[in-house]
Chains A and B, each alone.
Chain A
């Protein structure tokens, strides 16, 4: 039972390159989330998915797209990376009770 997994752990991109961050969970969660963590700002919601086949914008969606491929997987895509997207990205899942979320280990992304 791996919980929430993310790949890759680290990535360096040049401005304008694209990439997809992968997230998978084996906790049978209906809801999944993508957050970014920046120094002194806590975590901010990028996109979320309340169930398979649905996605919606969070607080900071610009420059990102997401896909909820199936119940287990929720990917985050940067189409044209910018230095402002340098951050640590966390995926999380949530079940149906009490709204607590379970986080993956994170992806540290640097855009030069």
Chain B
């Protein structure tokens, strides 16, 4: 079946540091890939997505590239801010009729001023 593996957190960075959160996946066929962000006490918000190999998703300074050869979708940001502190989830959709998402376990990011 499908699965998503994320690096364990928490990840603690100083403001303006470079961020990488690793995500690898196992899936049959050609899934769509997503990063969601969850701020404290809130629901999940779609951060970015990529629907085919070599696509790069980007939003709010975050980027991730769909790498089929390494089955990865690592999240990066060049300069984090305190307001980026949240839990980040990598997810895939298997593009079948069900369209349900399979999530990683989440990575908590803490950015210190």
Contact = CB atoms under 8 A, between A and B. Distances in A.
B100 A58 contact: yes
Interface of A: 4, 31, 33, 40-45, 48, 50, 56, 58, 90, 92, 94, 98-106
Given A42-B103, A43-B101, A101-B101, 9 more contacts: A31-B99, A42-B89, A48-B98, A50-B97, A98-B49, A98-B51, A99-B93, A102-B46, A104-B43
Q: Which 3 A-B pairs have the closest CB atoms?
A: A42-B103, A99-B93, A103-B43
A103 B34 CA distance: 14
A58 B99 CA distance: 11
A99 B99 contact: yes
Contacts, number: 57
Interface size range on B against A? 20 to 34
Given A43-B89, A100-B34, A100-B49, A48 B100 contact: yes
A104 B45 CA distance: 9
23 contacts: A33-B101, A40-B106, A42-B106, A43-B44, A43-B101, A45-B100, A45-B101, A50-B99, A56-B98, A58-B100, A90-B44, A94-B99, A98-B51, A100-B32, A100-B34, A101-B46, A101-B101, A102-B46, A103-B36, A104-B43, A105-B42, A106-B42, A106-B43
A67 B11 CA distance: 40
A4 B100 CA distance: 17
A42 B90 CA distance: 9
Interface in B54-87: none
